[in-house]
Amino acid sequence: MQDFWDKRYKQEQYAYGETPNEYLKSKLAGLPKGKVLFPLEGEGRNAVFAAKTGWQVSAFDQSKEGKKKAELLAQKNGVHIDYAVSDMENVSYPENSFDVLVLVYAHFPLIERKRYHQKLVSLLKKGGILIIEGFSKGHIEKQKVNPNVGGPKDETMLYDLEELKNDFQGFDFMESYETDIELQEGICHVGTASVVRIYGIRN
């Protein structure tokens, strides 16, 4: 998959645009500034937004090309992000060190998903915030109508809301729902999508 993402991110245009995800933007707005982690951050649009609004940002992705694009975007916006090139197996941050964990279209293979989610939870402080937006199981029907809407082609990587909540046991879920939205994120997320959204607090 690293080759796939390197090829996508090597293009001059930002695959998912340069502006942040709307759900993330709305949820970060009311929170006190602190340390935030963006796994599978790609070209950096969400991390750069957080840095611009005063957050201390860490991010990682397996794509070297993604890091290059993210750092260019950060430079363009006059901010710094701490961006590591790593897969989930090898990523290493201190436990209980982040105030917010953000998973925006961060889809994992089914066989590893719960373990990876639990690993990420261990990096979040007690009382820390979890923000998720990802494609739901129902999104497969949206892809059939409009391939430009994006998302994993492997249906097992799409999210069932209750399964996802089960991955994140030990959270109070302030929001957890499935909905259809209109995506306008670069050239790879365009059209009607079925997504799940979660906003939770770690106990």
Report the pLDDT value the prediction gives residue 75, as an integer from 0 to 100: 98
CA distances from 138 to 26, 141, 180 (A): 24, 6, 9
Classified as helix, coil or strand, 61 is strand
Report the pLDDT value the prediction gives residue 138, as an integer from 0 to 100: 97
Report the pLDDT value the prediction gives residue 1, as an integer from 0 to 100: 82
State the 10-residue block means of pLDDT for the chain, 203 residues long. 93 96 96 98 98 98 98 98 97 97 98 98 98 98 97 96 96 98 98 98 98
Structure-token pair, residue 55: 């957050």
Report the pLDDT value the prediction gives residue 187, as an integer from 0 to 100: 96
Give first-to-last CA distance, the chain, whole Å: 34
DSSP 138-182: THHHHHHH-GGG---SSGGGSBPHHHHHHHTTTEEEEEEEEEEEE
Report the pLDDT value the prediction gives residue 149, as an integer from 0 to 100: 98
pTM confidence score: 0.97
